[in-house]
Amino acid sequence: MTIKAVTRAAILLCAAVVMPAALAVATPQIKTQSPGYYRIMVGNAEITALYDGSSTFPLTLFKNATPDQLQRYVKDVDGDAPKVVNGSVNSFLVNTGEHLILIDTGGGKLLGPGFGQVTANLRASGYAPEQVDMILLTHMHGDHIGGLVTADGQPAYPNATVWAAKPEVDYWLSASQAAKAPQAQQTGFQRARDILTPFKDAGKLKTFTAGKDLLPGLQPIALAGHTPGHTGFVLEQGGQRILFWGDIVHYSALQFAHPQLAVGFDADGAQAVKTRAGLLKLMAHQRTLIAGAHITFPGIGYVVENGQQGYRWTPIGYGEIR
């Protein structure tokens, strides 16, 4: 650049900075987020991730490590060591061409402000709740079943039948299991009973058997530990595969590198760790596409082996529908 050109650039820069007051218009900030949906194709099936909401939760939720270890683990990944971590809740809509299937429903009104956005995002994505004919539950915690009903307790998806694993239904709807459970879990049992009993009474709660196709190319697989009937759903279409794995990972920065970390609300922490460790290994080996309920939205990506540090998460990027 010549001296003359540099001077000219400097003049242009000054002109840009010192604008006449009359031209400077204060533009209001928009302060709304883009609609919370994200879409991909898996073979012939159209998958739409639906955002329900996000919040923070304490690091102390994680078990099998000291507070210092947990802080170090987070720092290894995030470069910072906060005492709280961010968690999101995602649901997934699958259009097979014959069925419109919602996998988990978000928290509805159960989780408080910032949650309960699945139905609005489903509409924003171009569908109507009335078009959903099947709802598959990975398990019956409030952040997965709360969105089954509207604020006034009516079915949010009036034409849908709800499906869950038999061990999950047997556990959460059993008065004797509830009576045996610790005080901290009583709210969970009550919520499951309140929300699901009307579906059961109306013949709209059905059970599936893990390992048997529910539809051609759609198979539930048992991933017990987090809850007794915690289930993943494998969808295989046109030679492509995706696993909707529910709550196998609650926080990416910790549980990929350290699968041994259980969470406070695991029904059976030891079993949950075993299930996660085995599944991460298999998914990394198979390079299966994953859709996770609590991985940062849209929660779709791959598990990759990471040498001595267990595994890491590689999210898919934004792109056109192909």
b/e for 127-160, b at 16 or more Cβ within 10 A?
bebeebebbbbbbbbbbbbbbbbbeeeebbbeeb
| Spatial separation of the C-alpha atoms in residues 271 and 268, rounded to whole Å | 5
Which one, 52 or 143, has the nearer CB to Zn ion?
143
Smallest gap, in angstroms, from Cβ of residue 141 to Zn ion?
5
Which one, 141 or 258, has the nearer CB to Zn ion?
141
- For Zn ion, the binding residues (CB under 5 A) are 141, 143, 247
Instruction: Tell me the torsion sign for CA atoms 31, 36, 40, 46.
Output: negative
Smallest gap, in angstroms, from Cβ of residue 143 to Zn ion?
4
Q: How many CB atoms lie within 10 A of CB 265?
A: 17
Which one, 214 or 248, has the nearer CB to Zn ion?
248
Question: How would you class 104 by CB atoms within 10 Å of its CB: exposed for 0-12, middle for 13-18, buried for 19 or more?
Answer: buried
Smallest gap, in angstroms, from Cβ of residue 138 to Zn ion?
8
Sequence letter at residue 89 = V
Which one, 143 or 168, has the nearer CB to Zn ion?
143
Smallest gap, in angstroms, from Cβ of residue 164 to Zn ion?
14
Residue with tokens 């609590």: 294
Copy the structure tokens of residue 163. Answer: 């499906």
Question: How would you class 249 by CB atoms within 10 Å of its CB: exposed for 0-12, middle for 13-18, buried for 19 or more?
Answer: buried
Which one, 61 or 284, has the nearer CB to Zn ion?
61
Smallest gap, in angstroms, from Cβ of residue 36 to Zn ion?
17
Which one, 141 or 191, has the nearer CB to Zn ion?
141
Smallest gap, in angstroms, from Cβ of residue 104 to Zn ion?
8
